[in-house]
Structure 1
Amino acid sequence: MIGEVSSVTSQVATTNSSTSKLNMDKDAFLKIFLAQLQYQDPLNPANGTEFIAELAQFGMLEQLANLADALNQLLQFEQKAQAASLIGKTVKIAGNGNSLVEGLVSAVRWSGGRVTLVVNDQEYDPAAVIEVK
């Protein structure tokens, strides 16, 4: 029975990967793991080592997800710190089209995970800064 679940899973993965990238999260992993437990043949149970390996994989998946979250938070903090370090400095910013805006960074705003610099009472993306004086 485990072979049947595995073959169905591989068929779904093959189908989904051709249309879009398969995103396997821990909930999907647990569903597959529980399906394997539920449909195994009681007269021919799966090897305990296989289940331990799958649980280890689940633990690794969860730790990777936690690491990705921590790295994302660190990146957001770094972006805020870099933007805040520009307060009081004169910057040149690539504006709309070919225009350049030059002015003093008077503030930094954070809204919904987005960081903007306030220059000449206008908000600009820090990625548009081309020169700092």
Structure 2
Amino acid sequence: MDALSTAQNAANSTSRGATSGSNNANSLNPPTKSAAGSLAADFNNFLTLLTTQLKAQDPLSPVESTQFVEQLASFSSVEQQIQTNTKLDAIASALGQGDLNSIAQWVGKTVETRADQIRFSGEPISFSAPNSSVYDSVTAAIKNVEGNVVGRIDLEKNDATHSWRGEDGNGGRVLNGDYTIELEYRRDGDVVQSAVASQNGLVEEARLTADGWRLKLSDGGLVSVANVTAILPNQMTVGK
């Protein structure tokens, strides 16, 4: 049996003895394994193997020193990788906490968001309509999920924010649900440009989902933080 095999057998015997004692102690208190703890155990085993290998080598045919260097280099590389991953996890955690601290400041404020659909739940919905001197008038067409127009609102040209209270085209109120507010910009009576209105809503809470941060607005809808285009003074939530 060569020196390396003898060393490995001795190390395995030592490892089994240590494991047996550890299992007896851990039967009452199971340990929580981590990358760092596993690394420390592996390093101890590595030192045991290395020491035993040195003791068991044939004096007339010693193990090449380059083999020890290669083993040390391999272990050092793994150790550095685990430490790097640990530091990256710490950085990611810090960045996530920074996002939470930043987004938490939005709670209680009014935000303007891009929204293809706006949820009507009985309360007035505030939305934005950029104005321009190029157009004569602006109309908000309210569409249901089927794309049918259920009402229209003539908007004041000089106002940037407006409100829809759920009225339909017949003087009644629409049912609660999802709607789209499409802006129709007119010149000389003709629609020359259309755009979906931006929704204004009061942020009640922030939630971290699998798709990222979502803001729950006062109407119950959830919007992505990525769709927030502006943070407005709270008094701007009431439109015309």
Both proteins in one fold, TM over 0.5: yes
Greater relative contact order (Cα < 8 A, sep 6+): 2
Structure 2: gaps (5+ residues): 1-41, 43-56, 118-195, 233-240
Identity %: 19
Distance in 1 between residues matched to 2:85 and 2:208, nearest whole Å = 25
**1:68 and 2:88 are equivalent in the alignment:** yes
Deviation at 1:94, TM superposition (A): 1.0
Distance in 1 between residues matched to 2:83 and 2:116, nearest whole Å = 43
1:121 counterpart residue number: 220
Structure 1: gaps (5+ residues): 1-29, 31-41
> TM-score, structure 1 length as denominator?
0.59
Q: Is the 1:76–1:113 contact (alpha carbons within 8 Å) kept by the matching residues of 2?
A: no
**1:132 and 2:152 are equivalent in the alignment:** no
Note the alpha carbon deviations across 1:35-89, whole angstroms, 9 max, x for none: xxxxxxx987652111111111111100111112112212221222221110111
Q: Which has the higher helix share?
A: 1
> TM-score, structure 2 length as denominator?
0.34
Distance in 1 between residues matched to 2:212 and 2:87, nearest whole Å = 22
- Counterparts of 1:34-45 in structure 2 under 5 Å? none
Secondary structure class of the residue paired with 2:208: strand
- Counterparts of 1:1-133 in structure 2 under 5 Å? 47-96=67-116, 98-111=196-209, 114-119=212-217, 120-133=219-232
Q: Which of 99-108 and 59-68 deviates more? A: 99-108
Deviation at 1:104, TM superposition (A): 1.2
Secondary structure class of the residue paired with 2:203: strand
Deviation at 1:111, TM superposition (A): 4.1
Deviation at 1:112, TM superposition (A): 5.1
Q: Which has the higher strand share?
A: 2
Aligned-partner residue type, residue 227 of structure 2: A
1:19 counterpart residue number: none
Deviation at 1:114, TM superposition (A): 3.7
Secondary structure class of the residue paired with 2:108: coil
2:6 counterpart residue number: none
2:158 counterpart residue number: none
Distance in 2 between residues matched to 1:129 and 1:91, nearest whole Å = 7
Secondary structure class of the residue paired with 1:71: helix
Aligned-partner residue type, residue 108 of structure 2: G
Instruction: State the superposition RMSD in angstroms.
Output: 2.6
Secondary structure class of the residue paired with 1:47: helix
Aligned-partner residue type, residue 73 of structure 1: S
Aligned-partner residue type, residue 221 of structure 2: Q
